[in-house]
């Protein structure tokens, strides 16, 4: 792509990835981001002395594309991946704590011991779960029928009790899919469980950042993009995308320019739209994709994070999942946030939070502080020094049955125009992994098309492949 120009719209993980890949191929790349920072939906901000992530983010060892990006950014030492999957799960109604963990055995035996000892299900439920896991493992992810059924219906057909759904399938599924089994497509759920739990024994080991997300997705990304020669325009919104008269694309920008004027990027060879689906719908030139209104049908699902700072330590592990409580997952954020002193900072990650996302802070406080006392005995009598929430109403697309045909591929019908974003057709739910995969796919398609136009080997390979 030497001598070619590219504009990437959107500086989330998809856009960062696409920009790096296009710059690697020799294009002169401009990355345009409306906000004052890179990182999109996975970012952090300062609140007093505290670094706060907009939402707790975790990844799995099987997230190879996201881990590849972390490696490229030189920040693998700033994340931690469990040596072996270990998720402590406490039921507040019985007070018992068990764990979902793996042994050093081949799949699916790696989970068998943990399931056998899991205190939150009966023996009959565990046996039925083992049978369902084997059936799930046998599903063909390429079968389009999987997208038409709900995961909940499939689980019931495979003998899963409401308790097994709560204590196991939804415990993992709600956090990864951002929807309950009843609201999830079987295709996406099967993808998550097959890849995460039933592929390689280490696939589900959990990873998370040891620093605020912004240190990875803004600071390190900005440094690497600049090193790769990418021009970064922050606080700059793309307002329109058109065909340029002499060929290529015309990208219109509205930014915080001192003269108040707008800037045009003219005759751009390649544009990657790495923005949320609603924004892409507004920017796509007519005829670029089939039935663009489908982008709006994809819908959104919210995630709420409840942040609580205690005056003492109340949680004795990095994280804990809860049953029998509105609390879903609790993370210890103390070290990441820079909190000093004897206190502890907890973040509650509440996925599929449609019923709570708009509740006033005071009501959430009334709901969650007593729940935390039920879940964490040490919280009883501890002082709360801060309580606040972060709300992401459009955290992910809704992974509902029927969502697969609504997700477009990277290549559009407009030559030189590509789509990226966790919501595009990656086969993954809306995750950091999906975002990075989509950025790779868009840049890969652009590189192949330009190589094809130039008549080089990469182009013919892509056309025949």
Ligand X SMILES: Cc1cc2nc3c(=O)[nH]c(=O)nc-3n(C[C@H](O)[C@H](O)[C@H](O)COP(=O)(O)OP(=O)(O)OC[C@H]3O[C@@H](n4cnc5c(N)ncnc54)[C@H](O)[C@@H]3O)c2cc1C
Cis previous bond, 282, omega within 30: no
Taking the complex as a whole, how short is the minimal distance between the CB of residue 274 and ligand X, in angstroms? 6
Residue 272: how many other CB atoms lie within 10 Å: 32
H or E element that contains 397? strand 384-397
- Which one, 238 or 443, has the nearer CB to ligand X? 238
Residue 96: how many other CB atoms lie within 10 Å: 12
3-class SS string, 398-452 = CCCCCCHHHCCCCECCCCCEEECCCCCCCCCCCCHHHHHHHHHHHHHHHHHHHHH
What's the rounded Cα separation, in Å, for the pair 337 and 54? 12
Residue 404: how many other CB atoms lie within 10 Å: 16
Taking the complex as a whole, how short is the minimal distance between the CB of residue 454 and ligand X, in angstroms? 29
- Which one, 149 or 266, has the nearer CB to ligand X? 266
- Which one, 4 or 407, has the nearer CB to ligand X? 407
- Which one, 180 or 434, has the nearer CB to ligand X? 434
- Which one, 54 or 129, has the nearer CB to ligand X? 54
Taking the complex as a whole, how short is the minimal distance between the CB of residue 395 and ligand X, in angstroms? 3
Cβ 445 vs Cβ 423: under 8 Å: no
- Which one, 128 or 420, has the nearer CB to ligand X? 420
What's the rounded Cα separation, in Å, for the pair 54 and 47? 11
- Which one, 276 or 343, has the nearer CB to ligand X? 276
Residue whose structure tokens are 């994709």? 289
Taking the complex as a whole, how short is the minimal distance between the CB of residue 79 and ligand X, in angstroms? 12
- Which one, 25 or 274, has the nearer CB to ligand X? 274
Taking the complex as a whole, how short is the minimal distance between the CB of residue 122 and ligand X, in angstroms? 30
- Which one, 4 or 300, has the nearer CB to ligand X? 300
**Whole-Å CA distances, 203 to 64, 107, 437:** 10, 10, 17
Distance, C-alpha 335 to centroid of its chain: 22
How many angstroms separate the first and last alpha carbons of the chain?
Answer: 20
Tokens of 217: 């997705």
Backbone angles phi, psi at 455, to 5 degrees: 75, 25
Alpha helices by DSSP H, 26-84: 64-72
Taking the complex as a whole, how short is the minimal distance between the CB of residue 265 and ligand X, in angstroms? 12
- Which one, 55 or 152, has the nearer CB to ligand X? 55
Q: Going by C-beta distance under 8 Å and a sequence separation of 6 or more, which residues neighbour residue 406?
A: 294, 295, 297, 298
Site residues (CB under 6 A) for ligand X?
9-15, 32-35, 40-42, 54-55, 57-59, 237-238, 274-276, 279, 303, 305, 392, 395-396, 421-422, 430-435
Taking the complex as a whole, how short is the minimal distance between the CB of residue 14 and ligand X, in angstroms? 3
- Which one, 205 or 433, has the nearer CB to ligand X? 433
- Which one, 10 or 201, has the nearer CB to ligand X? 10
Taking the complex as a whole, how short is the minimal distance between the CB of residue 275 and ligand X, in angstroms? 4
Taking the complex as a whole, how short is the minimal distance between the CB of residue 135 and ligand X, in angstroms? 26
Cβ 61 vs Cβ 207: under 8 Å: yes
Taking the complex as a whole, how short is the minimal distance between the CB of residue 168 and ligand X, in angstroms? 19
User: Which sign, positive or negative, has the C-alpha torsion 399, 60, 303, 438?
Assistant: negative
What's the rounded Cα separation, in Å, for the pair 416 and 406? 22
- Give the closest residue to 435 by CA, choosing from 305, 280, 275: 275
Taking the complex as a whole, how short is the minimal distance between the CB of residue 434 and ligand X, in angstroms? 6
Taking the complex as a whole, how short is the minimal distance between the CB of residue 17 and ligand X, in angstroms? 8
- Give the closest residue to 417 by CA, choosing from 248, 247, 230: 248
Q: What angle do CA 187, 188, 189 make, to 5 degrees?
A: 95
Cβ 386 vs Cβ 50: under 8 Å: yes
């Amino acid at each position: 792509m030497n001598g070619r120009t590219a504009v990437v719209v959107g500086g989330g993980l998809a856009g960062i990835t696409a920009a790096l890949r296009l710059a690697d191929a020799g294009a002169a790349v401009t990355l345009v981001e409306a906000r004052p920072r890179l990182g999109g939906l996975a970012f952090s901000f300062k609140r007093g002395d505290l670094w706060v992530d907009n939402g707790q983010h975790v990844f799995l060892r099987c997230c190879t594309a996201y881990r590849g990006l972390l490696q490229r950014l030189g920040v693998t030492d700033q994340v931690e991946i469990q040596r072996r999957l270990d998720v402590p799960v406490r039921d507040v109604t019985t007070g018992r704590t068990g764990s979902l963990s793996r042994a050093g055995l081949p799949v699916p035996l790696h989970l068998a011991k943990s399931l056998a000892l899991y205190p939150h299900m009966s023996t009959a439920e565990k046996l039925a779960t083992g049978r369902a896991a084997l059936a799930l493992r046998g599903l063909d992810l390429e079968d389009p029928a999987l997208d038409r059924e709900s995961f909940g219906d499939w689980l019931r057909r495979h003998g899963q009790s409401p308790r097994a759904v709560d204590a196991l399938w939804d415990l993992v599924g709600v956090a990864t899919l951002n929807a309950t089994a009843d609201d999830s497509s079987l295709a996406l759920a099967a993808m998550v469980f097959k890849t995460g739990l039933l592929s390689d024994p280490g696939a589900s080991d959990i990873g998370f950042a040891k620093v605020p997300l912004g240190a990875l997705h803004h600071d390190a990304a900005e440094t690497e993009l600049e090193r790769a020669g990418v021009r970064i325009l922050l606080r700059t919104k793309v307002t329109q995308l058109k065909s340029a008269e002499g060929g290529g694309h015309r990208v219109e920008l509205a930014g915080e320019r001192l003269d108040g004027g707008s800037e045009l990027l003219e005759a751009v060879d390649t544009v990657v739209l790495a923005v949320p689906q609603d924004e892409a719908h507004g920017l796509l030139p007519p005829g670029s994709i089939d039935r663009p209104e489908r982008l709006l049908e994809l819908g959104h699902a919210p995630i709420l994070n409840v942040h609580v700072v205690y005056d003492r330590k109340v949680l004795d592990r990095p994280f804990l999942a809860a049953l029998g409580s509105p609390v879903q997952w609790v993370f210890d954020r103390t070290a990441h946030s820079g909190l000093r002193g004897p206190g502890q900072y907890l973040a509650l990650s509440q996925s599929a939070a449609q019923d709570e996302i708009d509740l006033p802070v005071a009501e959430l406080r009334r709901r969650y502080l007593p729940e935390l006392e039920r879940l964490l005995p040490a919280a009883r009598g501890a002082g709360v020094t801060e309580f606040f929430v972060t709300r992401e109403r459009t955290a992910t697309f809704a992974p509902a049955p029927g969502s697969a045909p609504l997700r477009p591929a990277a290549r559009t019908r407009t030559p030189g125009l590509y789509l990226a974003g966790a919501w595009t057709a990656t086969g993954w739910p809306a995750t950091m992994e999906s975002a990075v995969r989509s950025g790779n796919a868009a840049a890969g398609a652009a590189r192949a098309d330009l190589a094809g136009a130039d008549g080089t080997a990469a182009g013919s390979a892509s056309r025949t492949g």
